């Protein structure tokens, strides 16, 4: 048991150390969401107009961007495993008296903490887009983002457990993860699209992560949920239902990632 705890601690500790030391990664992780927010916000807000009662395009997209930041950052925890393998450090981790499952959980924990930090910085931009942040919102948001981060780290780590090269991992991210993110309702409501797109989006677990974050932000807006909420079999998903989907998806991926990582030599 303690080998799991120690593994989580040291592996997460190092992820954070690296995050702080690598200025370029720090900057780029904020730059892209910010770019989306500014460019799409300024570009589309007037054209698109009101998405739901009291919600314009930027206010619609802003929670989605926060979710996207967490999604991207978490999937990239897998990149750090591939990176460690390529540059040899993984061996140092694997020959240490650390439980394999703890190593996987440690990577995910590191990603979760970094995700929350990044989301926190994004929250500072809220006044710019006219979104109100309340302490209650933050209190609900943080555990939700941690859960989302763990789930998506599971995906990243599962991919990484079998990847031998950075290029291979990047390729999978581009072919699988980017489409998943773009089809998760970050940029448009998944209700109001062609049926095939709606189907794909509703099969995409990330959709529910984005929906849950958005619902927390739009909780105060009367009628917003009806306009942009996700209906599944005639039932509108609540935050709680979204959380169940994300947790189930995350648990499955995390188990697969741990299994795959433990089995490898």
Partner 1 sequence: MLNPNVIEADSLSRRFDSFVAVDSVSFSVSEGEVFAFLGPNGAGKTTTINMLCTLLRPTGGTATVNGYDVVRQRSGVRRSIGLVFQDPTLDEHLTAEQNLRFHAYAYRIPRHLAEKRIGDLLELVELSDRRRSSVRTFSGGMKRRLEIARGLLHNPRVMFLDEPTLGLDPQTRRHIWEHILQLRERHGFAIFLTTHYMDEAEVAGRVAIMDNGHIIALDTPERLKDQLGGDVITVEAQDVDATKAELLRRFEVVPLEEDGHLSFSMPHGNRFLPRLLRTLESRVISVGLRRPTLEDVFLHVTGHAIRDREADPVSQARAHVIQHRRGR
What is the binding site for partner 1 (CB under 8 A)? 3, 6-7, 9-10, 13-14, 17-18, 21-22, 84-98, 164, 264-265
Closest distance of CB 54 from partner 1, Å? 46
Residue 144: closest CA among 56, 221, 250, 62: 250
Distance between CA atoms of residues 81 and 163, nearest Å:
9
Q: Whole-number minimum distance, CB 120 to partner 1, in Å? A: 23
**Rounded to the nearest whole angstrom, what is the least distance from the CB of residue 246 to partner 1 in the complex?**
31
From the CB of 24, what's the least distance to partner 1, in Å? 11
The smaller minimum CB distance to partner 1, of residues 109 and 151, is found at: 109
Q: How far apart are the C-alpha atoms of 90 and 65, rounded to whole Å?
A: 32
Contacts 24+ apart (CB under 8 A), 255-262: 256/154, 256/158, 257/104, 257/154, 257/155, 257/157, 257/158, 257/161, 258/100, 258/101, 258/104, 258/105, 260/158, 260/161, 260/162, 261/100, 261/103, 261/104, 261/157, 261/161, 262/100, 262/101
CB nearer to partner 1: pick between 1 and 203:
1
Q: How far is the CB of 18 from partner 1 (least distance, A)?
A: 5
Whole-number Å distance between alpha carbons of 151 and 239: 16
Token reading at 210: 């984005």
């Amino acid at each position: 048991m303690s080998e799991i705890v120690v593994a989580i601690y040291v592996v997460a500790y190092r992820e954070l150390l690296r995050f702080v030391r690598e200025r370029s990664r720090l900057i780029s992780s904020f730059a892209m969401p910010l770019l989306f927010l500014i460019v799409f916000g300024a570009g589309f807000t007037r054209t698109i107009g009101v998405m739901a009662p009291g919600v314009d395009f930027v206010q619609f997209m802003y929670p989605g961007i926060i979710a996207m930041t967490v999604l991207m950052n978490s999937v990239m925890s897998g990149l750090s495993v591939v990176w460690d393998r390529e540059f040899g450090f993984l061996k140092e981790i694997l020959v240490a008296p650390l439980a394999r499952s703890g190593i996987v959980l440690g990577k995910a924990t590191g990603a979760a903490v970094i995700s929350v930090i990044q989301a926190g910085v994004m929250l500072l931009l809220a006044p710019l887009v006219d979104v109100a942040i309340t302490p209650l919102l933050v209190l609900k948001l943080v555990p939700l983002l941690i859960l989302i981060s763990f789930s998506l780290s599971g995906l990243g780590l599962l991919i990484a457990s079998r990847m031998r090269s950075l290029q291979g991992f990047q390729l999978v991210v581009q072919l699988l993860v980017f489409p998943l993110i773009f089809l998760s309702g970050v940029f448009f409501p998944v209700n109001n699209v062609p049926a095939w797109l709606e189907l794909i989006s509703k099969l995409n677990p990330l959709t529910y992560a984005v929906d849950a974050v958005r619902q927390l932000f739009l909780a105060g807006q009367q009628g917003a949920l009806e306009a942009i909420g996700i209906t599944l079999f005639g039932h509108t998903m609540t935050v709680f239902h979204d959380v169940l989907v994300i947790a189930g998806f995350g648990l499955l991926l995390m188990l697969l990632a741990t299994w795959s990582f433990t089995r490898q030599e």
